[in-house]
Amino acid sequence: MILINYCFMCFIFGTTFLAIKIGIDAGLTPFFSGGIRFFLAGLLIFSFMMLREKQLFRLLFRKELFFSGIGLTFGTFSTLYWAEQYVTSGIAAVLSATGPMMIILIQSILLKQKATIQSILGCALGIIGVLLLVQQSFSMDISSLWIIGCIAIIIGEVFYAAGTIYTRKVTKLFKETSPIALNSVQMMYGGVLLLFLAIFTEDVQFSSVLQPASAGSLIYLIVLGSMIGHSLYYWLVSKTNPVFPSTWLYISPIVAMALGIMFYQEYFSFVTGLGAVIIIIGIILINFENLRERCSFNIG
């Protein structure tokens, strides 16, 4: 079940970078569209869960889920959505692949947890593979906003890494509560913060939401990207470890490349194929100990 959910999550997340870009190019402002996406997704999931378990209402007043929402949703996606005004979805996927490396660095430097050589090497290979995968994108002219956008995404990945590590502790604190319910609350918190940011920084044109491309982007991101994808991610964090689920960031460029080749006849070369192979090797190395334990358990 873990492997199936992981693969499904990777495919969904692999399409979201392009969906965000489509919505922004169609006229949606970044913070508003991100806020609507996560708040509605969280509200819908939480409402459904409330019908089954009334006591979940207490989760709305827990500071732990507020902090989780700052890391996993607000900090990560405020920077990503803003940056995709100036950075291509491929480059955004590349920079987002620094997430697992950030987790290992935080665990090693701040939390004094020893990282294995395999994990460090796997992260390095993963980043190299992603860079190879979309290397043709770097031929574009570089502007100051492009550079700022890249830096913003990297800052967002620091939030993402911290949020992922913190979420692991939150799921242990609320071990009797469904991870999906916990995720819905943190998405609502993150969505509200994004909407507040939009109120003070953006000139929101509600008519843009009614455009077919904008509406399609929002619906896809709300239902598939957030309600399903992020629920699977939160569930995997609670069942495995912070690094394993975050390795979807290495798979997403492969999904984006495959979709581009199939539907838009986008460029493919030996170098991009090599990048895909290196990414897979990196993922195996990052999760080597975890995979070995699971294989031994299954065999036993």
Predicted confidence (pLDDT) per residue in 29-84, tens digit = 999 999 999 999 999 999 998 888 877 888 899 999 999 999 999 999 999 999 99
247-271: pLDDT as tens digits? 787 787 888 777 767 765 666 677 7
Please report, for the chain, the start and end positions of each structural domain, with discontinuous segments joined by +: 2-299
Q: Assess contact for 41 and 230: CB atoms under 8 A.
A: yes
Rounded mean pLDDT, 73-97: 88
Above pLDDT 90, what percent of the chain? Answer: 30
Q: Which residue has the higher pLDDT, 196 or 127?
A: 196
Burial class of residue 252 (count of CB atoms within 10 Å of its CB; 0-12, 13-18, 19+): buried
pLDDT value, residue 36: 94
The pLDDT assigned to 298 comes to: 43
pLDDT band at 135 (very low <50, low <70, confident <90, very high): low
Other Cβ atoms closer than 10 A to 284: 14
What Cα–Cα distance (Å) separates residue 66 from each residue in 45, 187, 192, 238, 296? 17, 9, 10, 18, 38
Q: What is the mean pLDDT of the chain?
A: 84
Percent of the chain with pLDDT strictly greater than 70? 89
Cβ neighbours of residue 93 closer than 8 Å, sequence gap 6 or more: 14, 17, 130, 134, 249, 252, 253, 256
Report the candidate in 198, 181, 177, 168 with the shortest Cα–Cα distance to residue 74. Answer: 198
Average pLDDT over residues 13-31: 90
Q: What pLDDT score was predicted for residue 127? A: 83
Q: Are 46 and 287 in contact (CB under 8 A)?
A: no
Whether 283 contacts 250, CB under 8 Å: yes
Provide the pLDDT for residue 70. Answer: 96
Per residue in 148-202, pLDDT (tens digit) is: 988 899 899 999 999 988 988 898 888 888 888 998 999 999 999 999 999 999 9
Q: At what angle do helices 76-83 and 179-201 cross, to 10 degrees?
A: 50
